[in-house]
Amino acid sequence: MVDNIGPKNSSSHKDRGFKYCCNDYAEEETSGLIKEQDRLLPIANVGRIMKQILPPNAKVSKEAKETMQECVSEFISFVTGEASEKCHKEKRKTVNGDDICWALGNLGFDDYAESLKRYLIRYREAEGERANQNKTGAGPEENQTEERQQRGPNSPPPFSFHLREKRRA
């Protein structure tokens, strides 16, 4: 179990009321509450994401994929648990993107929180534009062509999510 996630001065996730850490899963699995496949992201998806950043001829071992699968699943549960706790305190039943951004910042992942906030703003703007285009009657093919013209032929697709390394002085 990892108790030192987030900033050094913060309390552990057990102290925060986060109930889904690795050891808790093992206890719950033996009681039959949570199945292994229900707590982990699909390994094929994890492997596909890992390969996107690597050169085309690179290989990723099964052990590396499984390790990453465990780590990202734990991270998602950790952040979501924090966001869920906030929603519970505010007597809300739905966790939204703003709650996830807040949880990332609250847990000390400020760089991720800022990048995700920018992404969320762009996503919401695009969703609003898409809704407006649908109201005006523009078909999906027209929307895609228009979108490509606005971006340019060689620009990356919308909503690519890239974290920048912090510049060291």
Contacts of residue 53, Cβ cutoff 8 Å, sequence gap at least 6: none
CATH number of 1-108: 1.10.20.10
Give me the pLDDT at residue 169, please: 47
Evaluated on CA atoms 44, 45, 47, 52, the torsion sign reads positive
Taking the C-alpha atoms of residue 68 and residue 98, their distance in angstroms, rounded to an integer, is 26
**Any idea where the domains of the chain sit in the sequence?**
1-108, 115-169
Residue with tokens 């979108």: 147
Q: Which pLDDT tens digits describe the chain residue by residue (169 residues)?
A: 444 444 434 444 444 444 444 444 444 445 557 777 678 999 999 999 999 999 999 999 999 999 999 999 999 999 999 999 999 999 999 999 999 999 999 999 999 999 999 999 999 999 999 888 888 876 555 555 555 555 555 444 554 445 555 545 4
> Per the confidence metrics, is the pTM higher than 0.85?
no
Give me the pLDDT at residue 134, please: 87
Give me the pLDDT at residue 14, please: 42
Closest to 1 (Cα-Cα) out of 74, 68, 66: 74
- Using CA atoms, how far residue 163 sits from 49, 110, 116, 144, in Å, is 15, 11, 9, 26
- Using CA atoms, how far residue 165 sits from 52, 79, 154, in Å, is 18, 21, 24
